[in-house]
Amino acid sequence: MMSFCGDPASLAGYQWWLCYLTNNNHFSLYSSFLTVMALLALTAPLAMILGFAGALARRSGIFPLNLFGQIYTSLARSVPEIIFFLFVPIAMDQAFEYIRHKIKCPEVTDPVYQGNDFVVCAAAKLPLSTSDAWVHSTYGFLLAALGFAIVFGAHAANTIHGALNAVPKNQLETAASYGMSRRQSFWRIHLPQMWGYALPGLSNLWMILIKATPLLFLLGVEDMVYWAGQISGTKTAAYYDYPHGDWRLGYFAALLVFYLLMTRVSEIVFGRLSAHFATGQATLGGGSTQGLQA
């Protein structure tokens, strides 16, 4: 904050705006932007890993793996996402604390579920009550990111499974006739061909993930929408250093522009990826997309 911002009541013009936009609340808004970007950067690869694991498990001939894949991908279609977002972080948090409770406090024999309360010993708490605030924030963020990854990983598994099935069988039969093993044909033929079918669905999932980031507040993580709502409402001189009227329209318009830009950039990136993977793409008729376009 600038040196002349010590007395907000004496400010006017650009100095008022400069000090207003660099106060602590606005820095919290700016840092929440980084939180959203970090969530996207962490969740997307995790969701893809879980998606591939779920899709391959569903195709597995090993019954336990196949059953896991069937259950994991079916839950995504059957249960509303908001239930997952609320259930998964809470369930994981309690599971971690329960395991720590059994390891660190074996002498405690009281049940952890006492009525409506979940009670573990102080040493089993995550994070510990003595931990710094940033540790609590990071732990909550990681739980939220893992919850998002599990939810979108299940949807990605459905998309990838469908894309793997969409690859023409004659491509794999040709690979086998050339002496390729199943592993070789998967990595050299099946997987590269799959991307052309999977990208449209995965791009939609990415767009939905971007639009789902405001749900972070439900998981205790303060995101951009939360801080925009906190800052933009009417502020009176009696309680705030920078009083102003109802500015919600301006703040949420800025968020609208941000999400539109994110969507537009994503469309361009996925469009180029789709064009790249469509080059020479085999079709059910045995030709390629280049031939169809010609």
Give pLDDT, residue 292: 36
Angle 255-256-261 from CA coordinates, rounded to 5° = 95
Burial class (CB in 10 A: 0-12, 13-18, 19+), 118: middle
What's the mean per-residue pLDDT of the chain? 85
Q: Does the pLDDT value for residue 199 go beyond 50? A: yes
The answer to whether residue 162 sits within a structural domain is yes
pLDDT greater at residue 292 or residue 131: 131
Question: What is the phi-psi region of residue 117: left when phi exceeds 0, alpha when psi lies from -120 to 50, beta otherwise?
Answer: beta
The answer to whether residue 287 sits within a structural domain is no
| Cα separation, 256 vs 225, whole angstroms | 10
The answer to whether residue 83 sits within a structural domain is yes
Distance of CA 109 to the CA centre of its chain: 38
| Cα separation, 224 vs 89, whole angstroms | 20
Residue 273: give its domain's CATH number.
1.10.3720.10
The answer to whether residue 3 sits within a structural domain is no
| Cα separation, 263 vs 210, whole angstroms | 8
- Decide: 43 and 149 in contact? Cβ < 8 Å: yes
> pLDDT (tens digit, 9 = 90+) per residue, 200-242?
999 999 999 998 888 888 777 888 888 898 898 888 876 688 8
Average pLDDT over residues 158-187: 87
State what percent of residues in the chain have pLDDT above 70. Answer: 92
Question: Length of the chain, please?
Answer: 294
| Domain range enclosing 160 | 35-229+248-278
Give pLDDT, residue 281: 61
Give pLDDT, residue 285: 44
Give pLDDT, residue 289: 46
**Model confidence at 20, in pLDDT bands (50, 70, 90)?**
confident
The answer to whether residue 76 sits within a structural domain is yes
The answer to whether residue 8 sits within a structural domain is no
The answer to whether residue 237 sits within a structural domain is no
Q: How many domains does one find in the chain?
A: 1
The answer to whether residue 241 sits within a structural domain is no
- Count of alpha carbons within 13 angstroms of residue 68, beta-carbon side: 13
Indicate the pTM of the whole model.
0.81
- Decide: 269 and 261 in contact? Cβ < 8 Å: no
